[in-house]
């Protein structure tokens, strides 16, 4: 009775769906070659997913291997559960080296030293990118795409109009900010909101400051958990950060806007008429957000970047970056072939050409526009290069860091208690 | 029947219409936004769409409908949802009947245990069940999700059905047993037909919850394109940084179509008076 | 693709047929037993499949969770009650417990119940009942991810002086106020999250209460009205008592959902700005910190929250049995 009334509409929809499905792509024939499938789990969706699939298509054609891509925004939960439950994907995109080392230490990642041509790798990749994906001397991950952190975006047309010059040192940057503030507009646009990861743009700020202010050794101790958050260097970095975000004249909309504005939207006031801000600190992938929300602006003319300037000349030319890491969970011939393919410059060039990604591979040289190639150059030729510290920390520390940014923005007077609770998390999460 | 009472009084109408309007505003806002170009959505409110310039676009829906795999995902969702709705209801119905009208030791304890199980968070069951599935070789099959949804849906279904089965008048059963009806006959010819509103309710809910499920499918079935349900494909319309979320809302409305059809077609079972006249025979 | 039809059809028909067959065969076997044994064996046959399913999918994992809560983060060493001590002294957990108890269990359940009841009863009297119920029910049909996106937009914030895109701030500004970053301001943000939950779940309550309402014998109502009883009296003396068992079911389920509240909070604030809830803490311990011991302890904490609910249900059963 219940069923018969459902049968008709359901049957109709069924037929409808069959018609759509029947018009879809036909199953791939296995060509002479490896055959089989390889499952890939990563967070990419939308355009990124399209880019990844485009990147692996030559691989599929060449080897006759079908790449089964599974995307999820909830990578932590899905990957942890599947690994724990005994059903890992063949290959997975790992959120960061911190995560990766947790899996490696638990023995879940395959040693890529036996899978990849390590000599070729040493040739193509900067040492830093290789080392970052190693745990206990074993290569357990590879970077297949990268991002530059630390660019400060500005509107060149507006700079020329107002007679502003690109600052070369941190002090010049602050002077410029004050100048803009005095002229009646807030100099900075900042937004921290990012769903479950809200706060991460602030961590990028802090990392840039720590690296340039206290140098790479302090930076390394910091992310490795041996430098306390309450230490004078780290506290100083937060206070420097505070000179910008704790001053309501410095940031558009003050703390309310910083906490409530999605990071992807927060740079748009650079292009409003008249502009409501002039400076935006964000990684290289923000350009896509700019152009989608403001279709008429042009790269290089309406937006360009300069790197976060040096703070202490001892540590001049310091740059932070990040990247998407791939690791292998199951040793199958298809997975091996895929991992090898993904490290080739030809493969990485495919995504790079589609835009929205940089490659850490020195042999990839063609970029779709000047800004991308400038970004890639800044990344691969940095004097002092460090990977995004929060991505290197254990997940729990990373999450606490994000939250601390939000708490600090909400009430900068609480800095000491915020740092103290970060120390507690540090003591707890680095144990394993 | 008194017509004026049937038509309701003015306060009734005002209350209902006000509540319904408030309820629908978020949905309307999103539908309107799904027809606007992304650049405008981020800078202007949805109500401005009704003022010049009237900038409407189908691009979001186009993108969604032409996304690779939409048809297959829809089919996969159907494949998952139909058995995962009817199996739990069948299992729940027979159990609920026993809890409602049979007496046995531990009946209340077991029933309370079942109710209590509603609170078990889904995440704590994933790893143990996945490990078991791995050992049984069920991972990645539709059977795995059908069984899982049955297990997860049973506590609430039994709770709900037992309530309705138990509300049936005792005299009915006495009359039936005097007439010589056995347990089976009573169940199939008496209890089920009289509980149609309840069965319709649980069908709607179970259908919905399975249709909108993402996690169970991802873990036990996997998100590979040939088996991914609509929820997985739709969630992949948004990239990892959250871009293109307006496609998500367009897709959400498209995927709401079928549940609404189900809901509307089951409305006819929410009729009163099924019991009317049956008491005195 | 085409091969999917027989698979689905089989998956639909076979299990249901199997169950019907199971019951029929079981009854047949029961009839082979002495008359006295039948009522003792029969119930177990009928609840058997259900017990098997929940045993495998829910009871066994729940028991395993209890054991895991006594082990360390990677589930290798026994640590006794250390996890519970850590969890119960975590200020985030205190905030979560407060939110679950106060905001979710009291306000969420209360609002949904009242809404559901009001709509079910009032819609019963109007011709456009189906349409009204469908519109209230529509949010249930929308997936949580989409609902989160929808409401994030309603609550979105632009600095003062800039055009507002969020509906709530547009209304605020229209009445002369300043736009507020609603989701980042405690304690109103909790209320706003509840509202999303109420919006999503009122349809659930309405459907169930409406189904129960249809079961109220019309003769009783007509008789009372003929006797001169006012609508309020009819409702209070006749309808409400008959609805009480169903209201118990709906309220119980809602309280349990309030305890488990996760999706809304996770998608909209991730527990930041004082909106934390237990399920989100469990999620963070499980998948971010990967501390299975503590995650299990939080889960057990959640489980204990239903004990009062179960006691309440037990009492109601006893009352109902007494009436029968």
pLDDT digits (tens, 9 = 90+) for B29-84: 888 888 888 778 777 888 888 877 777 888 888 888 888 788 889 989 999 999 99
- Domain with A244 in it: what CATH number? 3.40.190.10
Q: Which of A208-217, B178-187, B208-217 has the lowest mean pLDDT?
A: B178-187
Whether residue C187 has a cis bond before it, omega within 30° of 0: yes
The residue in chain A having the minimum alpha-carbon distance to the alpha carbon of residue B207 is A6
The answer to whether the CB of C275 falls within 8 A of the CB of C99 is yes
The arithmetic mean of pLDDT across residues A22-39, rounded, is 61
User: For the segment B77-106, what is each residue's pLDDT rounded down to a tens digit?
Assistant: 999 999 999 999 999 999 999 999 998 999
Contact C290/A at CB under 8 A: yes
Of A218, A189, A194, A193, residue with least CA distance to A206 = A218
Same domain, A312 and A206: yes
Contact B267/A at CB under 8 A: no
Cβ-based contacts of A49 with chain B (< 8 Å): 236, 239
Report ipTM for this prediction.
0.91
Nearest-angstrom CA–CA distance, C133 and C147:
19
Cβ distance of C283 and A77 shorter than 8 Å? yes
Same domain, A85 and A175: no
For C305, the token pair is: 């929250």
Cβ-based contacts of C182 with chain A (< 8 Å): 260
Phi, psi dihedral angles at A114 (to 5 degrees): -90, -5
Nearest-angstrom CA–CA distance, B151 and B79:
18
Same domain, A268 and A402: yes
Phi, psi dihedral angles at A387 (to 5 degrees): -80, 155
Nearest-angstrom CA–CA distance, C264 and C269:
8
pLDDT band at C282 (very low <50, low <70, confident <90, very high): very high
User: For the segment C196-207, what is each residue's pLDDT rounded down to a tens digit?
Assistant: 999 999 999 999
Which of B82, B203, B236 has its CB closest to that of A49? B236
**pLDDT for the residue C3:** 67
The answer to whether the CB of C212 falls within 8 A of the CB of C175 is no
- Strand A304-307, strand A151-154: pairing: antiparallel
The arithmetic mean of pLDDT across residues A229-250, rounded, is 95
Query: Can you give the residue range of the structural domain that contains A96?
Result: 32-148+323-373
Q: How many helices (H) and strands (E) in chain C?
A: 17, 0
Is pLDDT of A27 > 50?
A: no
Which of C159, C266, C267 has its CB closest to that of A253? C159
The answer to the question of residue A5 being in a domain is no
pLDDT band at A1 (very low <50, low <70, confident <90, very high): very low
Would you tell me which residues 149-188 of chain B have a C-beta closer than 8 angstroms to some C-beta of chain C?
150-152, 154-156, 158-160, 163-164, 166-167, 170, 182-184, 187
Is pLDDT of B164 > 80?
A: yes
Same domain, A204 and A278: yes
> Which site among A256, A261, A271, A277 would you substitute to test the C interface, given the most C Cβ atoms closer than 10 Å to its Cβ?
A256
CB atoms within 10 A of CB A168: 11
Which of A17, A44, A86 has its CB closest to that of B78? A17
User: For the segment A353-373, what is each residue's pLDDT rounded down to a tens digit?
Assistant: 888 789 888 888 888 889 999
Contact C143/A at CB under 8 A: no
The DSSP secondary structure of A182-251, one letter per residue, reads HTTS--B----B-GGGTTHHHHHHHHHHHHHHHHHHHHHHHHHT-S-TTSHHHHHHHHHHHHHHT-TTTB
pLDDT band at A87 (very low <50, low <70, confident <90, very high): very high
The answer to whether the CB of A139 falls within 8 A of the CB of A118 is yes
Q: How far is B140 from chain C (nearest CA, A)?
A: 15
Contact C186/A at CB under 8 A: no
The answer to whether the CB of A388 falls within 8 A of the CB of A175 is no
Of A71, A80, A84, residue with least CA distance to A42 = A71
Contact B189/C at CB under 8 A: no
CB atoms within 10 A of CB A11: 10
The arithmetic mean of pLDDT across residues A168-184, rounded, is 94
Chains that touch B (3 or more CB pairs under 8 A): A, C
Same domain, A94 and A228: no
**pLDDT for the residue B10:** 85
Radius of gyration of chain C from Cα atoms?
25
The answer to the question of residue A133 being in a domain is yes
Phi, psi dihedral angles at A386 (to 5 degrees): -135, 145
The arithmetic mean of pLDDT across residues C293-299, rounded, is 94
**pLDDT for the residue A321:** 92
Same domain, A275 and A137: no
Contact C29/B at CB under 8 A: no
Same domain, A190 and A178: yes
Strand arrangement of the beta sheet that strand A304-307 belongs to = A280-281, A151-154, A304-307
Exposure of C35 in the CB half-sphere (CA atoms within 13 A): 1
Residues 6+ apart with CB under 8 A from B218: A70, A72, A78, B232
**pLDDT for the residue C316:** 86
pTM of the complete model: 0.89
pLDDT band at B7 (very low <50, low <70, confident <90, very high): low
The answer to the question of residue A144 being in a domain is yes
Nearest-angstrom CA–CA distance, A45 and A51:
9
Nearest-angstrom CA–CA distance, C68 and C83:
10
User: For the segment A113-133, what is each residue's pLDDT rounded down to a tens digit?
Assistant: 888 888 888 888 888 888 888
Nearest-angstrom CA–CA distance, B241 and A264:
8
The arithmetic mean of pLDDT across residues B136-142, rounded, is 92
Cβ distance of C158 and A257 shorter than 8 Å? yes
Would you tell me which residues 304-323 of chain C have a C-beta closer than 8 angstroms to some C-beta of chain B?
305-306, 309-310, 313-314, 317, 320
The answer to the question of residue A105 being in a domain is yes
For B100, the token pair is: 């409602």
The answer to whether the CB of C265 falls within 8 A of the CB of B125 is no
Q: How far is A385 from chain B (nearest CA, A)?
A: 24
Cβ distance of C27 and B235 shorter than 8 Å? no
Q: Which of A29-43, A310-324, B206-220, C82-96 has the lowest mean pLDDT?
A: A29-43
Q: Which residues pair with C78 in a beta bridge?
A: C71
CA dihedral C96, C99, C102, C104 (to 10 degrees): -110
Nearest-angstrom CA–CA distance, C165 and B48:
9
Nearest-angstrom CA–CA distance, C208 and C115:
12
**pLDDT for the residue A255:** 92
Higher pLDDT, A171 or A1: A171
Would you call C128 helix, strand, or coil by DSSP? Answer: coil
Nearest-angstrom CA–CA distance, B263 and C142:
13
Residue matched to tokens 């795409």:
A145
CB atoms within 10 A of CB B1: 6
Total tally of structural domains belonging to chain A: 2
The answer to whether the CB of A355 falls within 8 A of the CB of A55 is no
Is pLDDT of B220 > 90?
A: yes
CB atoms within 10 A of CB B130: 23
Q: Which residues pair with B3 in a beta bridge?
A: none
**Angle between helix A2-22 and B70-101 (nearest 10):** 160
Same domain, A82 and A39: yes
> Which site among C6, C96, C153, C159 would you substitute to test the A interface, given the most A Cβ atoms closer than 10 Å to its Cβ?
C159
The residue in chain A having the minimum alpha-carbon distance to the alpha carbon of residue C2 is A18
Cβ distance of A260 and C273 shorter than 8 Å? no
Is pLDDT of B215 > 60?
A: yes
Nearest-angstrom CA–CA distance, C234 and C223:
10
Would you tell me which residues 66-125 of chain C have a C-beta closer than 8 angstroms to some C-beta of chain A?
73-74
DSSP H helices, A32-155, are 46-63, 75-84, 97-105, 118-124, 127-132
Cβ distance of B240 and A293 shorter than 8 Å? no
Cβ distance of C181 and A257 shorter than 8 Å? yes
> Which site among C215, C241, C304 would you substitute to test the B interface, given the most B Cβ atoms closer than 10 Å to its Cβ?
C215
For B271, the token pair is: 């009729």
Higher pLDDT, C112 or C33: C112
**pLDDT for the residue A4:** 43
The answer to the question of residue A348 being in a domain is yes
Of B149, B162, B127, B161, residue with least CA distance to B208 = B149
What is C82-323's CATH topology? Answer: MetI-like fold (1.10.3720)
pLDDT band at A404 (very low <50, low <70, confident <90, very high): very high
pLDDT band at C93 (very low <50, low <70, confident <90, very high): very high
Residue matched to tokens 């079942």:
B114
Residue matched to tokens 């990040």:
A322
The answer to the question of residue A17 being in a domain is no
Same domain, A225 and A247: yes
The answer to the question of residue A177 being in a domain is yes
Cβ-based contacts of C291 with chain A (< 8 Å): 396
Which of C156, C158, C288 has its CB closest to that of A396? C288
CA angle A101, A106, A110 (to 5 degrees): 75
Same domain, A258 and A364: no
Residue matched to tokens 């990118």:
A129
Q: How far is CA C245 from the centre of its chain?
A: 17
Same domain, A329 and A344: yes
**pLDDT for the residue C1:** 56
**pLDDT for the residue C324:** 65
pLDDT band at C221 (very low <50, low <70, confident <90, very high): confident
Would you call B278 helix, strand, or coil by DSSP? Answer: coil
Is pLDDT of B3 > 90?
A: no
**pLDDT for the residue B236:** 87
Q: What is the mean pLDDT of chain C?
A: 89
The arithmetic mean of pLDDT across residues A341-350, rounded, is 92
Would you tell me which residues 65-84 of chain A have a C-beta closer than 8 angstroms to some C-beta of chain C?
76-77, 80-81
**pLDDT for the residue B207:** 94
The answer to whether the CB of A343 falls within 8 A of the CB of A241 is no
Is pLDDT of A20 > 90?
A: no
Higher pLDDT, B91 or C34: B91
Of A96, A102, A128, A100, residue with least CA distance to A112 = A100
Same domain, A138 and A176: no
User: For the segment C117-170, what is each residue's pLDDT rounded down to a tens digit?
Assistant: 999 988 888 888 888 888 999 898 888 878 888 898 899 888 887 888 888 999
Which of B98, B111, B152 has its CB closest to that of C46? B98
Contact C39/B at CB under 8 A: yes
Nearest-angstrom CA–CA distance, B40 and A293:
8
Q: Which of A5-9, A49-53, A56-60, C212-216 has the lowest mean pLDDT?
A: A5-9
The answer to the question of residue A351 being in a domain is yes
Nearest-angstrom CA–CA distance, B189 and B177:
12
Is pLDDT of B135 > 90?
A: yes
Which of B83, B150, B267 has its CB closest to that of C53? B150
């Amino acid at each position: 009775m219940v069923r018969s009334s459902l049968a008709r509409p359901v049957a109709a929809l069924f037929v409808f769906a069959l018609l759509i499905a029947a018009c879809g792509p036909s199953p791939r024939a296995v060509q002479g070659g490896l055959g089989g499938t390889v499952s890939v789990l990563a967070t990419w969706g939308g355009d990124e997913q399209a880019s990844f699939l485009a990147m692996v298509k030559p691989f599929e054609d060449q080897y006759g291997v079908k790449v089964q891509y599974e995307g999820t925004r909830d990578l932590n939960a899905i990957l942890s559960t599947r690994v724990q439950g005994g059903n890992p994907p063949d290959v997975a995109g790992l959120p960061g080296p911190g995560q990766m080392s947790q899996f490696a230490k638990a023995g879940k990642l395959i040693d890529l030293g036996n899978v990849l041509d390590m000599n070729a790798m040493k040739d193509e990749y900067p040492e830093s990118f290789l080392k970052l994906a190693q745990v206990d001397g074993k290569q357990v991950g590879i970077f297949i795409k990268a991002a530059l952190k630390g660019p400060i975006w500005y509107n060149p047309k507006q700079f020329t109009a107002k007679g502003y010059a690109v600052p070369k040192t941190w002090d010049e940057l602050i002077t410029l900010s004050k100048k803009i503030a005095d002229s009646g507009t807030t100099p900075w646009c900042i937004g921290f909101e990012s769903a479950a990861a809200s706060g991460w743009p602030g961590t990028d700020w802090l990392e840039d400051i720590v690296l340039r202010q206290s140098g790479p050794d302090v930076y390394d101790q910091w992310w490795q958990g041996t430098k306390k958050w309450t230490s004078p260097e780290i506290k100083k970095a937060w206070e420097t950060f505070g000179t910008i975000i704790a001053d309501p004249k410095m940031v558009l909309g003050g703390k309310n806007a910083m906490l409530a504005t999605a990071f992807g939207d927060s740079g748009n006031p650079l292009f409003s008429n008249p502009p409501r801000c002039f400076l935006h600190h964000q990684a290289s992938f923000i350009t896509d957000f700019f152009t989608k929300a403001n279709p008429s602006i042009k790269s290089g003319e309406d937006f360009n970047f300069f790197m976060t300037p040096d703070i202490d000349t001892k540590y001049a030319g310091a740059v932070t970056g990040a990247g998407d890491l791939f690791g292998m969970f199951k040793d199958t011939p298809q997975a091996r072939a895929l991992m090898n393919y993904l490290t080739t410059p030809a493969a990485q060039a495919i995504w790079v050409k589609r835009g929205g990604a940089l490659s850490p591979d020195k042999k990839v040289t063609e970029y779709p526009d000047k800004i991308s190639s400038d970004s890639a150059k800044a990344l691969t030729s940095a004097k002092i290069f460090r990977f995004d510290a929060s991505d290197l920390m254990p997940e729990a520390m990373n999450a606490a860091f994000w939250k601390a940014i939000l708490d600090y923005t909400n009430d900068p007077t609480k800095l000491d208690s915020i740092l103290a609770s970060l120390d507690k998390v540090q003591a707890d999460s680095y144990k394993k | 029947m008194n017509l004026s009472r049937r038509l309701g009084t003015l306060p009734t109408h005002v209350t209902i219409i006000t509540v319904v309007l408030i309820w629908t505003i978020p949905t309307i806002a999103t539908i309107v936004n799904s027809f606007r170009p992304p650049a405008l959505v981020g800078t202007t409110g949805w109500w401005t769409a009704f003022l010049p310039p009237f900038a409407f676009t189908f691009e979001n829906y186009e993108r969604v409908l032409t996304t690779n795999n939409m048809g297959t995902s829809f089919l996969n969702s159907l494949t998952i949802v139909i058995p995962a709705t009817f199996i739990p209801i069948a299992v729940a119905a027979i159990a609920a009947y026993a809890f409602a009208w049979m007496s046995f030791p531990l009946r209340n304890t077991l029933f309370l245990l079942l109710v209590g199980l509603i609170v078990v968070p889904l995440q704590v069951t994933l790893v143990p069940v996945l490990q078991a599935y791995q050992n049984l070789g069920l991972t990645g099959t539709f059977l795995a999700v059908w069984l899982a949804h049955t297990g997860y849906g049973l506590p609430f279904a039994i709770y709900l059905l037992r309530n309705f089965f138990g509300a049936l008048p005792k005299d009915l059963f006495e009359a039936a047993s005097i007439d010589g009806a056995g347990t089976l006959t009573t169940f199939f010819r008496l209890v089920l037909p009289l509980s149609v509103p309840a069965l319709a309710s649980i069908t709607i809910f179970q259908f919905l919850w399975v249709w909108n499920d993402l996690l169970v499918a991802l873990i036990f079935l996997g998100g590979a394109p040939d088996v991914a349900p609509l929820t997985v494909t739709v969630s992949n319309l948004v990239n990892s940084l959250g871009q293109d979320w307006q496609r998500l809302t367009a897709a959400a409305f498209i995927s709401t179509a079928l549940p609404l059809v189900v809901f509307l077609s089951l409305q006819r079972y929410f009729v009163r008076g099924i019991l009317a006249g049956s008491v005195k025979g | 693709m085409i091969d999917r039809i027989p698979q689905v059809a089989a998956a639909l028909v076979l299990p249901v047929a199997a169950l019907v067959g199971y019951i029929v065969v079981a009854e047949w076997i029961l009839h082979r037993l002495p008359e006295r044994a039948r009522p003792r064996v029969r119930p177990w046959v009928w609840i058997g499949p259900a017990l098997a399913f929940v045993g495998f999918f829910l009871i066994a994992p729940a028991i395993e969770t209890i054991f895991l809560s006594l082990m360390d983060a990677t589930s290798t060493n026994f640590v006794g009650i250390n996890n519970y001590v850590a969890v119960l002294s975590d200020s985030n957990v205190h905030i979560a417990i407060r939110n679950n108890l106060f905001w979710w269990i009291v306000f969420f359940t209360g609002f949904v119940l009242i809404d559901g009841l009001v709509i079910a009863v009032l819609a019963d009297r109007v011709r456009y009942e189906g349409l009204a119920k469908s519109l209230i029910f529509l949010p249930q049909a929308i997936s949580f991810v989409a609902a989160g996106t929808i409401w994030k937009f309603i609550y979105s914030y632009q600095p003062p002086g800039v055009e507002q895109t969020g509906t709530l701030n547009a209304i605020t500004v229209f009445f002369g106020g300043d736009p507020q970053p609603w989701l980042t301001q405690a304690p109103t943000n909790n209320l706003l999250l509840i509202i999303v939950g109420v919006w999503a779940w009122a349809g659930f309550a309405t459907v169930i209460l409406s189904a129960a309402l249809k079961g109220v014998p019309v003769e009783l109502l007509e008789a009372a009205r003929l006797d001169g009883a006012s609508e309020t009296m009819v409702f209070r003396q006749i309808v409400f008592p008959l609805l009480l068992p169903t209201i118990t079911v709906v309220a119980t389920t809602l309280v349990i959902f309030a305890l488990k509240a996760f999706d809304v909070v996770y998608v909209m604030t991730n527990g930041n700005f004082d909106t934390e809830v237990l399920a989100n803490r469990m999620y963070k311990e499980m998948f971010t910190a990967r501390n299975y011991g503590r995650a299990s302890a939080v889960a057990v904490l959640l489980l204990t929250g239903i004990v009062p609910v179960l006691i309440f249900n037990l009492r109601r059963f006893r009352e109902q049995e007494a009436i029968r």
